[in-house]
A and B are shown apart, each in its own frame.
Chain A
Amino acid sequence: MTILVAERSETDASELRWHDVCRPEDLEPGWGEAAWLDGLQVALYRFPDGSFYAAEQRCPATGAHVMARGIMGSRTTAEGAVHTVASPLHKQVFRLDDGRCLGDDSLSLRVFPVQVRGERLWVGVPR
């Protein structure tokens, strides 16, 4: 069975390289964790509502690899409620659907598509 959990990147799926990362239940709801994808550090998030997100582990504001360790949450925007993560260093809040920073247009976080394929969680990274 393949459940498509999140496919939000505009990148053509054929240009993605999919990584088999871990079991979905290796992640605790609400607690972000980093993953190591052949040298690329990715932050993974599982929300209590069952959704998964992946973003670059590097904090766009400081360059430190910390984004998995930020507080996850939600914000209400013009387009409705969005899932977010706050950088643990200076607390900028990023939308996890498109990586935009709320409150600072000059910053954005790279986000990656996530799929749960059977027992495993996969993350697609542009080639």
Chain B
Amino acid sequence: MSAATDSTATSSPAPAGVRRIVVVGGGPAAHRFTEAMAARGLEGMHVTVLTEETHVPYDRVALSKALTQMDVDLTLGDPALWQDPAVELVTGARAVDLDLSVREVLTADGRRFGYDELVLATGSNAATLPIPGNEHTHVYRYLEDVWGINSEVARLTEKLGRTINAVTIGGGLLGLEAAAGVQALGARPVVIDGGKWLMGTQLDEGAGQAMGRLIAGKGLEVHGGVFPSAVLTGQVEGETVVTGVEMADGRVIPADLVIVSIGVRPRDELARTLNGRAKAAAAEAAGVPVEELDDADYTPVFRMGVRGGIVIDESCATDVEHVWAVGEVANFAGMCVGLVAPANTMAEIVADRLHGGDATFAGFDTATKLKLSGVDVASFGDAFAKTEGALEVVYADPARGVYQKVVVTDDAKTLLGGIFVGDAAPYTSLRPLLGRELPAEPGAYLSAAGGGEAPETELPDDAVLCSCNNVTAGRIRDAVGGCGTCDGQNPVQELAGLKTCTRAGTQCGSCVPMLKKLLEQELTKSGIEVSKAMCEHFDFSRAELFEAVRLAGLASYEAVMERFGRGLGCDICKPAIASILASQHSAYPLDAGLGTLQDTNDRALANMQKDGTYSVVPRIPGGEITPEKLGVIARVAQKYGLYTKITGALRIDMFGARLEQLPDIWKELVEAGFESGQAYGKALRNVKSCVGSTWCRYGVQDSVAMAIQMELRYRGLRAPHKFKMGVSGCARECAEARGKDVGVIATADGWNLYVGGNGGANPAHAKLLAQDLDDTTLIKYVDRYLMYYIRTADRLQRTAHWMDDLDGGIDHVRSVVVEDSLGLGEELEAAMARHVENYQDEWAATLNDPERLRRFRSFVNAPDQKDESLAYIEERGMRRPAGPVPLGAAIPVGAPATALVEE
């Protein structure tokens, strides 16, 4: 990015003779415009983008991600765009005025930017509430807004020492998104909505009712039909704090934090400034004070919409020559629309026009698929059946919170629109058929009614599959077939590449399942098999092999190999099979031919270090240990000269044990009551916990007891990758449970369960799965969650990555675990019960059996000979491997988690 820093009177980054195009605004519309200009060629042109924000244009649609994950990068498109010499992005530059006579934009810091063409892309602002106390509320529009909410939730939780009440005013799309976001941050979410039902803009009453039930089921408290009248505050330790929201009916709803999300207002200040000046001039000419001049008695410079917005025609031109408007600030046919799809379309149109084209804006398409976690909602086309003679085919099941409606023309043939709540599965296939004849009876698309299956139809080439980016099915087929759009590339045959090349599915993401399906259809048509094979010895993915082994009831490596494999296996499939067999049969890992399959660490029931020696980690459940047991560890470490270190997982690691020493060391540990900590396995590592309510003055539940209970239950459970857990005694989260695959955080009423977190090279924050669970339900859900993961994940795929890859992500997992949508619940629990019953300490089992001990001899012909190549030096009172520290294998940060082979 080359930010213009000169503050001379007129900044003109473009060389003379070049057509100067200036964009005001740096949101999605400005970004898409610039990208579209660059794509069409910038010969003889120069684009300057002025944005008041300090960021490179980012994806506002995905803003909620930044609420729960502050470091997420939302930058739109390829940042290389801003390196183009014909493109200049000027951040921190707020345009405050226009001088139309000399065609210049004036910024707040006094810079002037001359233009030949001006594109206004200033978007919208979040509207605020005209009620007392409004200054203490938050809005939800810019990155700074969500960062502020995030830190405020954390600060208030810490300060108040309890779950905070976060009230969102406004039950529209964004309000619900905000509420779900603060809920994920651990706050108690409350939504206040003046309308009779939620999402009144997109949903009819039936759908709104279903939505209300679903939202309540997610733990959001909704107060509908009443307007707020004041935000109440009080004084705590000299600080003004929010205490509640007073409603028009006198009720007070307790609140510690208030977010206002009641709609947006176009940022049309520039146009208003000019209009104001024109009006003042007209008043002066007429000799009356401005206030008294009738609006009809002067001609505004820019025509404005009744509720704001700069009026454009179908070429996206404003009333002023050489001035265009795109995105949310543009008012077309009397409306401004707060969706990104029309913003993108308008941007493309202006780029086309500036390149001599004649593209026109056909009007708004207001399809929405809400991305709200855990709730499936979609509304598109003529959702309210306003077309003359339109028919509504509806299925509603209020008890289940399901509502499905398809709107068709009076002959029941052509699709006009629809609404889906609770089950939006048909949306993706219906959406591209908008305005077309349906291939089946409308009723066939009401999947929840259990009626006929809607036919799998081929999308026509001109059907729009991704509406955000206006990508047609034909365009995707071309890319799959190798149209050469992407640098004369070969056919694009995987999803990620297809998204980059066509841009389909890169914005709101709701068309991704459809995109996947189309890709698979195309590949099948061209006879290409989509290979999910684990390695050359198997044609299966791990998940497929898991199911195949389970269904065939196979129990040995030889049987699996004979039935499904070929060759002698390798370091990829062998450990995977060992893990599959271990999860299904809980067998001792070194017996019955399993030993030869085990990866480096499992083979020795210890973690191999860089010099080939091992480290020893006894289990310390929940991190709780008696002084006596600490003494045992100290004695063993002294006796064998082991380097000791406290791990990040609340345990003690002893390094430098030779293979043949492991049995002796473990003999002493096992006799003192320790057992294997399985630090070596792709299995449960530990359950980290804080001290909790037994000691801590903030604790609301006994986190140590719960951690120990969980560690003892899931110890030894083999999985596709290692996994960790954490339990915190209150919302302060001292155990960092949300950085774990399974995180449990105490609430006043029970436990909140978070899943899919991890540290490491690609950190991920765990997401809320269920709230306020009692002990039994918590364990039940964790049982189901883990077993479902073990069955369906790929090898070396941690839970976060696994959920990302699943169709429907966390929502799908929630439906399986909480709602038991696949009817697997009992089976998964039974599988876990078997694991718990069959658990044995691997080291105790080893020591009892000479055959097993044989595996720890150093040399087949000299069982007690030690490896003499090992050399140590002393450092800080302990020994460590001598010699320079060789570099470890490089793991690129941001590499796909599956590619990581770490122990």
Interface residue ranges, A against B (CB under 8 Å): 21-22, 26-31, 33-36, 39, 41, 44, 47-49, 58-59, 62-66, 69-76, 81, 83-84, 86, 88-91, 93
B593 CB within 8 Å of chain A: yes
**B residues less than 8 Å from A74 (CB atoms):** 537, 567-570
| B596 and A22 form a contact (CB under 8 A) | no
B265 CB within 8 Å of chain A: no
B807 CB within 8 Å of chain A: no
Q: Which of B234-242, B377-385, B853-861 contacts A (4 or more CB under 8 A)?
A: B853-861
| A27 and B869 form a contact (CB under 8 A) | no
| B567 and A36 form a contact (CB under 8 A) | no
With A36-B859, A44-B860, A66-B612: A86-B571 Cβ-Cβ less than 8 Å: yes
CB distance from A24 to the nearest CB of B (A): 11
**B residues less than 8 Å from A65 (CB atoms):** 612, 867, 869
CB distance from A65 to the nearest CB of B (A): 5
With A27-B860, A44-B860, A69-B608: A88-B600 Cβ-Cβ less than 8 Å: yes
Interface members, chain B 568-617 (any A CB < 8 Å): 568-571, 574-575, 593, 595-600, 603-604, 608, 610-612
| B859 and A64 form a contact (CB under 8 A) | no
CB distance from A124 to the nearest CB of B (A): 15
Closest A residue to B574 by CB, please name it.
Answer: A71
Q: How large is the interface on B (under 10, 10 to 19, 20 to 34, 35 or more residues)?
A: 35 or more
Q: DSSP majority for the B interface?
A: loop
With A34-B860, A36-B861: A69-B600 Cβ-Cβ less than 8 Å: yes
With A74-B568, A76-B567: A35-B593 Cβ-Cβ less than 8 Å: no
Q: How far is the CA of A59 from the CA of B867 in the complex (A)?
A: 14
| A31 and B595 form a contact (CB under 8 A) | yes
CB distance from A74 to the nearest CB of B (A): 4
4 further A-B contacts with Cβ under 8 Å, apart from A28-B595, A76-B567, A83-B568, are A35-B859, A69-B604, A73-B570, A74-B569
CB distance from B561 to the nearest CB of A (A): 9
**B residues less than 8 Å from A36 (CB atoms):** 858-859, 861-862, 865
B873 CB within 8 Å of chain A: no
B536 CB within 8 Å of chain A: yes
B528 CB within 8 Å of chain A: no
| A62 and B567 form a contact (CB under 8 A) | no
- Contact digits for B876-903, partner A, Cβ 8 Å, 1 yes 0 no: 0000000000100100000000000100
| B861 and A69 form a contact (CB under 8 A) | no
Selected A-B contacts with CB under 8 Å, 11 pairs:
A22-B860, A29-B596, A31-B595, A34-B858, A64-B611, A69-B603, A70-B600, A71-B570, A71-B571, A73-B569, A89-B610
Our pick among B567, B571, B611, B886 for the contact of A91 (Cβ within 8 Å) is B571
**A residues less than 8 Å from B865 (CB atoms):** 36
With A48-B568, A71-B571, A76-B536: A90-B608 Cβ-Cβ less than 8 Å: no
| B610 and A30 form a contact (CB under 8 A) | no
Q: How far is the CA of A76 from the CA of B536 in the complex (A)?
A: 8
Closest A residue to B558 by CB, please name it.
Answer: A48
B295 CB within 8 Å of chain A: no
**A residues less than 8 Å from B388 (CB atoms):** none
Q: How far is the CA of A48 from the CA of B869 in the complex (A)?
A: 31
Q: How far is the CA of A72 from the CA of B537 in the complex (A)?
A: 13
**A residues less than 8 Å from B608 (CB atoms):** 66, 69, 88-89
| B860 and A33 form a contact (CB under 8 A) | yes
B71 CB within 8 Å of chain A: no
Most B CB within 10 A of own CB, among A30, A44, A83: A30
Closest A residue to B575 by CB, please name it.
Answer: A71
| A47 and B862 form a contact (CB under 8 A) | no
